[in-house]
């Protein structure tokens, strides 16, 4: 039995022993009474009776252990031309003073604080200061629409909102203050105060009595010590879009979260204290919480806070520059970022300008990693390219190639094996377990490991309805996929990305894998559009690589033939259209369900997370050319 198999089996058969040992890597104010409290399923609780503080484990502990002079955060902002390094000691000073200023406003353990900020180091300071006081933070992606922010204000009911005056999206200025003002106007709940970090790129007008400038706020503030909290107390709320239109507030506890993230850095990402770990995401997403702020700092790593993009800030070599300049060992980003690089620099010429000899791993998650993008990235980097899969709800990976435990051969298209702690199963619609290569629903047998959501914010019933009731005894991931005979997991996309063609259920993800192999295609999406005869038919939307000019009919014929060869005539793939861009969320997820509604001429709500709303109009025009997006 290999090391992975041994650890995995123990994590399932003896979760208390396994996670009790892992918890020794965290400093506890008071040890737990019970590792796993399973007295009230599906509301499992980890480390009940234990007390600790997440900020203490992320900062104070390292300074006390002699790591104070090590760089904690590298703030790298190509959009403002700024690079700044903050040591653990300096970060501790900033956080403890900001926490002292918050305490002066009356913020205390259990209060909620909304953070609405761009990718600047002050966002991390605000998060850690809340954790220091035992206050519950809820980070909302900077630039979110006012009505979406208002929904979150009403649900979280923050005492204070922390924001900034604005941000640059490549070359586009986004002023946050008007958006924040409008959100507070719309919200029934009103915060007592707003702390605004003024940036030179956009000075904001402050409202007397309510708004306080950041620098004025911290002037003269006394640093405060960490407040011990229960392991089961909430650390943060992170909202994820809900099917009812009301966002779901995913709750993360303090103890289980710290234990899981600390364990994951070394065992999944093979990253040790003192090394440079870079998650190229945003603090507004779960990746930013877990692997920009908390995971690396709990481990004693140097983390990078990057205010830029993979292309356009200034060119497709942006990521290679950051890796080379800052000595990054591990990069974690979304496949979308690499598809953007591949589109702009298909030959990978920009990488030749930089020394990447110290770079060790590329981890990708957030969207399915199609084999073509995997091969392109691997051929370019000649380093392990690791697809792994997880969700906002879980907070850390469900499946991965755990490089710190045992490296497995990579199978393109698979996110490898379940991570210790996650008992992943494939079942059918009535809950029957399926065999190897049988396509079904992906579930995780309860209890979920530490660090995953214990419930939703003030919505226990919705937690049960959304995740637990569908298949009792399991957490329902809402994803479809299969396992092979070696235990490798293949995630084929959300269950609603499976289309029904004349009674045959087919995965659009499988079709996308084929389309993406075409030499001229930079990225693609396949959606199921309504068809009177067959129920649904697949439609491909493709973005071509930079510099490629193709006749659409000729390209369509080639793609149709590829699908027939790989999947068969049963796929009924007959339509493809070229678009300049695909509509995506700011975190890089392709908005397939929105495109499906456009194709079927159905009404849709503009997604709050959309990167650029104008793309939807372009998609609609392209679909009209092939007879879709029109009322029948």
Beta carbons of 375 and 517 less than 8 angstroms apart: no
Whose CA is closest to 124, among 264, 132, 179? Answer: 132
In angstroms, rounded to a whole number, what is the distance separating the alpha carbons of residues 48 and 54?
16
Which class would CATH give 502-625?
alpha beta
Give the list of residues 6+ apart from residue 357 with CB closer than 8 angstroms, or none: none
Whose CA is closest to 113, among 227, 219, 212, 235? Answer: 235
Residue with tokens 């495109």: 595
- Burial zone of 205 (CB within 10 Å; 0-12 exposed, 13-18 middle, 19+ buried): exposed
Beta carbons of 479 and 521 less than 8 angstroms apart: no
Distance of CA 111 to the CA centre of its chain: 25
Q: Tell me the pairing of strands 112-116 and 160-164.
A: parallel
**What is the DSSP annotation of 389-444?**
B--TTTSS-SEE--TTT-PPPP-TT---EEPTT-EEEEE-TTSPBP-TT--EEEEE
Other Cβ atoms within 10 Å of 213 Cβ, number? 15
Beta carbons of 483 and 416 less than 8 angstroms apart: no
In angstroms, rounded to a whole number, what is the distance separating the alpha carbons of residues 185 and 324?
46
CA distances from 522 to 17, 224, 317, 339, 599 (A): 47, 51, 17, 6, 22
- Give the phi and the psi of residue 295 in degrees, each rounded to 5: -55, -55
Distance of CA 65 to the CA centre of its chain: 31
In angstroms, rounded to a whole number, what is the distance separating the alpha carbons of residues 266 and 404?
6
Domain ranges of the chain: 3-308+388-482, 502-625
Whose CA is closest to 327, among 301, 292, 298, 294? Answer: 301
- Give the phi and the psi of residue 108 in degrees, each rounded to 5: -140, 180
Beta carbons of 523 and 543 less than 8 angstroms apart: yes
Could you report the per-residue pLDDT of 330-380, keeping only the tens digit for each? 999 999 899 999 999 999 999 999 999 999 999 999 888 888 899 999 999
Token digits of residue 468: 């637990």
Q: Which residues of the chain have pLDDT under 50?
A: 243-244
Order of strands, sheet of 423-427, starting from the edge strand that comes earlier in the sequence: 423-427, 440-445, 474-483, 489-494
Other Cβ atoms within 10 Å of 215 Cβ, number? 9
In angstroms, rounded to a whole number, what is the distance separating the alpha carbons of residues 298 and 383?
26
Q: Identify the three-state secondary structure at position 334.
A: coil
**What b-and-e string marks burial along 26-53, b requiring 16 or more CB atoms within 10 Å of the CB?**
bebeeebeebbbeeeebebbbbbbbbbb
Beta carbons of 235 and 257 less than 8 angstroms apart: yes
Which class would CATH give 3-308+388-482?
alpha beta
In angstroms, rounded to a whole number, what is the distance separating the alpha carbons of residues 124 and 169?
19
E strand intervals along 532-572: 535-544
Q: Could you give the angle at the alpha carbon of 217 between the alpha carbons of 213 and 218, nearest 5°?
A: 130
Beta carbons of 383 and 360 less than 8 angstroms apart: yes
Token digits of residue 630: 């029109």
Beta carbons of 329 and 235 less than 8 angstroms apart: no
Whose CA is closest to 106, among 152, 160, 163, 161? Answer: 160
């Amino acid at each position: 039995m290999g090391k992975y198999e041994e650890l995995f089996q123990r994590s399932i058969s003896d979760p208390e022993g396994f996670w009790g040992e892992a918890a020794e890597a965290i400093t506890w104010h008071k040890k737990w009474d019970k590792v796993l409290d399973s007295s009230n399923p599906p509301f499992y609780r980890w480390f009940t009776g234990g007390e600790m503080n997440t900020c203490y484990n992320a900062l104070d502990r390292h300074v006390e252990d002699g790591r104070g002079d090590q760089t904690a955060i590298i703030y790298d902002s190509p959009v403002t031309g700024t690079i700044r390094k903050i040591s653990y000691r300096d970060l501790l000073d900033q956080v403890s003073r900001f926490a002292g200023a918050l305490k002066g406003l009356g913020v205390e353990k259990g209060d909620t604080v909304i953070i609405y900020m761009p990718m600047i180091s002050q966002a991390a300071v605000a998060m850690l200061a809340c954790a220091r006081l035992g206050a519950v933070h809820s980070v909302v992606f900077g630039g979110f629409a006012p009505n979406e922010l208002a929904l979150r204000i009403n649900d979280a009911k923050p005492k204070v909102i922390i924001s900034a005056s604005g941000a640059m999206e490549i070359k586009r200025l986004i002023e946050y203050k008007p958006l924040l003002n409008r959100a507070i106007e719309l919200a029934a709940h009103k915060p007592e105060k707003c702390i605004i970090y003024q940036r030179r790129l956009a000075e904001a007008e402050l409202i007397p009595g309510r708004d306080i400038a950041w620098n004025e706020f911290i002037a003269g503030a006394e640093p405060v010590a960490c407040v011990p909290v229960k392991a089961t107390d909430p650390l943060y709320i992170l909202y994820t879009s809900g099917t009812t239109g009301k966002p779901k507030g995913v709750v993360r506890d303090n103890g289980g979260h710290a234990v899981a993230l600390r364990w994951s850095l070394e065992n999944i990402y093979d990253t040790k204290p003192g090394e440079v770990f870079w998650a190229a995401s945003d603090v507004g997403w779960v990746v930013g919480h877990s692997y920009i702020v908390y995971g690396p700092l709990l481990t004693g790593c140097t983390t990078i806070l990057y205010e830029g993009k993979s292309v356009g800030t200034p060119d497709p070599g942006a990521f290679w520059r950051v890796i080379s300049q800052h000595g990054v060992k591990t990069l974690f980003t979304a496949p979308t970022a690499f598809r953007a690089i591949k589109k702009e620099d298909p030959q990978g010429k920009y990488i030749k300008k930089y020394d990447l000899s110290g770079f060790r791993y590329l981890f990708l998650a957030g969207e399915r990693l199609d084999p073509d993008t995997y091969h392109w990235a691997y051929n370019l980097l000649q380093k392990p390219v690791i697809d792994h899969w997880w969700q906002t709800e879980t907070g850390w990976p469900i499946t991965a190639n755990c490089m710190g435990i045992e490296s497995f051969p990579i199978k393109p298209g698979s996110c490898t094996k379940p991570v210790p702690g996650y008992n992943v199963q494939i079942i059918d619609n009535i809950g029957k377990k399926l065999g190897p290569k049988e396509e079904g629903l992906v579930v995780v047998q309860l209890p979920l490991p530490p660090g995953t959501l214990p419930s939703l914010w003030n919505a226990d019933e919705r937690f049960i309805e959304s995740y637990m009731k569908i298949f009792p005894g399991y957490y329902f991931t809402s994803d479809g996929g299969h396992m092979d005979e070696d235990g490798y997991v293949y995630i084929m996309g959300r269950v609603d990305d499976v289309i029904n063609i004349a009674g045959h259920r087919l995965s659009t993800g499988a079709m996308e894998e084929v389309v993406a192999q075409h030499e001229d295609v930079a990225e693609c999406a396949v959606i199921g559009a309504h068809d009177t005869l067959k129920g649904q038919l697949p439609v491909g939307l493709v973005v071509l690589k930079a510099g490629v000019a193709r006749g659409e009919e000729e390209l369509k014929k080639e793609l149709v033939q590829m699908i027939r060869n790989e999947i068969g005539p049963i796929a009924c793939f007959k339509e493809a259209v070229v678009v300049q861009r695909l509509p995506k969320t700011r975190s890089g997820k392709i908005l397939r369900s929105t495109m499906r509604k456009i194709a079927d001429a159905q009404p849709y709500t503009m997604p709050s997370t959309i990167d650029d709303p104008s793309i939807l109009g372009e998609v609609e025009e392209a679909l009209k050319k092939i007879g879709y997006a029109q009322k029948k």
